Each structure stands twice: as structure tokens, then as C-alpha cells.
A = this chain, B = another copy of it.
Amino acid sequence: MCGTEKAALVNKCSLTSTAKENGSTRTTLSSDAVINLDQLTLLISLSHNGDPMMFESYWREMGDKCTFEIPGCQSLSYFANKNNLCWFLEPELEEEIKRLHRVVGNAAVEDHHVVVGTGSTQLIQAALYALSPPDESEPTSVVSATPYYSCYPEVTDFLRSGLYKWAGDARVFDKDGPYIEFVTSPSNPDGSIREAIVKKGQGKVVHDLAYYWPQYTPITCCAHFDVMLFTASKCTGHAGSRIGWALVKDKDVARKMTKFIEISTIGVSKEAQLRSAKIMGVISDSCLHPNSNNFFEYCQRLMAERWGKLKEVVGRSKIFTLPEYPPEYCLFTGEFSEAHPAFAWMKCNKNTEDFEKFLRAQKVLARSGRRFGSDPKFVRVSMLSREEEFEIFLHRLLSIQATSN
């Protein structure tokens, strides 16, 4: 069954009613609904993500404070800042990105250029374009350590580029010559902190730090890499805005990444940039003012609750296991805490070859470990779904265990 058929199935089975409420859509689930904890594999090849709907409640609580307004005569131009290397980057967004990183302390911004993209997915491609030597006879090898983010192979190869080519697991890569290594840290799918693996002379490393925010993981240091990718989807929860940004040390790399976005989409939506700037500003303010509803603390609490519940359910039997995350000191919260990743990387200890298929038969959609270059005994489950979906998921896991014990 292809992804689109799956989507049709889920749409038929799981959504019994939808209604607009406070400008946002709520979905009610029937009790035998197919739960989709791999939101986006529904759609062929889609991906990483897990629709970050669980942060919606924060934004609803914040009310008018984060309403964005733009008059019809604003932002007609392609240009946002003709004096900037990234000429389509709104100055307000650049400022709020830098402020937020300074407030959180998760990445260095002082000696980096900011390049905005239509989500970090576009920036992944911009980085490939910018870091592939233009004069090689062979495409540059692109690698990442398993389990790797399941979109890298497809994003790298879908246009059969002569500039770069997916070369699989970084751990077994032994070719000479130029290569590009993606380091996703915390890892998607397994939440672990990662470092570059290959470490050869002609290599370039892209640090995909989409999940390096306090709600998911302790901020143990201020990241200071050559190319760092971030996305509003995972930071603020606004996946629909399609706003990502790269912090890029080298001016020529930043210029080439900008050129990629110039050729492929002539910049990035100004509305999305300006709204993201406003949303990020609200987050920074929430962290700085002692009596306000600190965004990251709020979201970390939600994540911790969900992980607590999942661990409890999983702990009741021997069928499933989850990774362990030792407590670490978080520079942002000033406390020791465990990671609460956006995904649960679950392993099935039953004698089943294909965990994803097994779960699907129980009406739970997750993404097979195979998609991450790993073992099909693993699946990746999104922890960011709506509350109701998550509760039904737990309920189903309990039933599976009750039958199997």
C-alpha cells in the first residue's frame, strides 16, 4: 500500500468530525480509529516530522498577543534587505532568530550568517548545493550515521543530481574524495546526541539541529559548527509556516546557499518570515519575563508528561523497549533533566520481523526502522500528535500487551 492510499484509509477511518475553533482545526477520533503516529509517512516519502500539534494549546492560551497582521500594501517586493548577503531575509526575522538563540544559548550567532529557507528541508538542499565542489567528475557522496533521518536519501536523490548522491551510512563510508555528512543532533529518530563520524580531510559537515531546543533535550553547550540548520516547525510548532534557517560561518557557503534559494524559489514568503519573527519574539519575551508563561518550560512539561505515560505503559511488559536518556545539566533551565525527544524509537522484542506491520494490524501507524537505514524491529513514533491521538495510542499499546503477555 502506497502512502497516498494509506492517507485515504486514515482519512476514512480515523477522522469522524472536524471543526474550526478559535481559528484552528480540531479533530475528534472514533474509538476504532487508525492512529497515525507517523503523521507524514502517510504521504509518500513525506517525512521526518510528526506534525507538531501538541504545542497548539500554548498558542491558544497566549491569545491576541501573537496575532499577526499585515496590510495589503506591505511586502510586495521580492527584496527584504538589499544590503544583506541573504537579500530576501526580513531584518525582523534575523533579529528575532539571533535573540532567541542568545536567550536559549543553544547556538552561536555572532560570527554566523543567517540564511532563511522554506523550511529546513530547502536548506538541506541548499547546503548540498553549496558544499558540493562544482568541478568534480563524480557526484559528491552524502552520508549520515544510521539510524538517519529518513528524508535524507530521497531529498538527496530525487532529481538525480550530478552534484551529489546519497551514499548511505556514515559508519561504513570509506571512499576517498569529497563528501558531505549530515549530523542530526538530537537524532531523528532516536533522540541521541550525535557527532560527526567520518572525519576525513575533504569532508564537509552539516549539523541538523532541528531538535536542539529545551523542550526536547537538555542544552548542554552552545553549538558552534560551520553549518547549523534549524526550523520553526520544531522550535515554535508552526510547521505550516515553512520557515527554516541556517547559521553559516563561511561567507561563500552562505552566499551559495542563498543562491540555491534564489534559483529554486526566489526567496522565502515574507508573510511567513514576519509572522515567525513575531512568534519567536513572544517566545523570547516569555523566557525573559519572570511572571510570563515560559514557552520552553510549558512544552518541556508536556513532553515530560507524555514520556512518563509512555514509559509506564511500555514498562508494564517485556514486549517493547525504549532508549534511555541519562539526566544532563541544562544550561537553559539550570537543572538536570532527561531528554524528551520528539519521537519514540521503539523496539519490539517479540518474535516479529516487521514491527511496523505488526503495529499497523493493531491500527497504529508508525515508521519502520528500515526507513532510517536500520532494523525493522524498530519503529519511530511521533510524540507531538494531538492529545487525544496520543491517549488512544497508549490505550492500543496496552491492549497489544494484554493480548501478548
Contact = CB atoms under 8 A, between A and B. Distances in A.
Interface of A: 4, 7, 10-11, 15, 22-25, 39-40, 43-47, 49, 51-53, 55-56, 59-60, 62-80, 82-83, 87, 118-119, 121-122, 125, 129, 151, 154-155, 158-163, 233, 237-243, 255, 259-260, 262-272, 275, 278-279, 282
Contact of A77 (B65, B125, B240, B266): B240
In the complex, the count of this chain's copies comes to 2
Contacts of A129: 158-159
A121 B271 contact: no
Looking at A60, A155, A266, the one whose CB has the most chain B CB atoms below 10 A away is A266
A68 B70 contact: yes
27 contacts: A7-B87, A10-B82, A11-B83, A22-B73, A43-B87, A43-B262, A44-B259, A46-B78, A51-B79, A53-B76, A55-B76, A59-B76, A62-B73, A63-B71, A72-B278, A76-B240, A77-B240, A118-B269, A125-B264, A129-B159, A159-B162, A160-B162, A240-B271, A269-B272, A270-B272, A271-B272, A271-B275
B62 A76 contact: no
Contacts of A78: 39-40, 46, 49, 51, 233, 239-240
Contact of A240 (B44, B53, B269): B269
Nearest to A67: B71
B270 A240 contact: yes
A121 B266 contact: yes
Contacts of A282: 72
Given A83-B11, A162-B162, A263 B155 contact: yes
Contacts of A160: 161-163
Nearest to A117: B265
**4 tightest A-B contacts by CB?**
A66-B72, A160-B162, A59-B73, A240-B270
Given A24-B73, A77-B25, A79-B51, A268 B242 contact: yes
Looking at A64, A162, A279, the one whose CB has the most chain B CB atoms below 10 A away is A162
Given A158-B263, A159-B163, A265-B242, A275 B70 contact: yes
Looking at A23, A65, A243, the one whose CB has the most chain B CB atoms below 10 A away is A23
Nearest to A82: B11
Contacts of A266: 40, 46-47, 49, 119, 121, 239, 242
Nearest to A74: B23
Contact of A68 (B60, B65, B69): B69
B259 A121 contact: no
Contacts of A242: 118, 265-270
Given A45-B263, A121-B264, A73 B162 contact: no
A75 B22 contact: no
A62 B53 CA distance: 36
Contacts of A121: 263-266
A383 B251 CA distance: 34
A216 to B, nearest CB: 17
Contacts of A69: 67-69
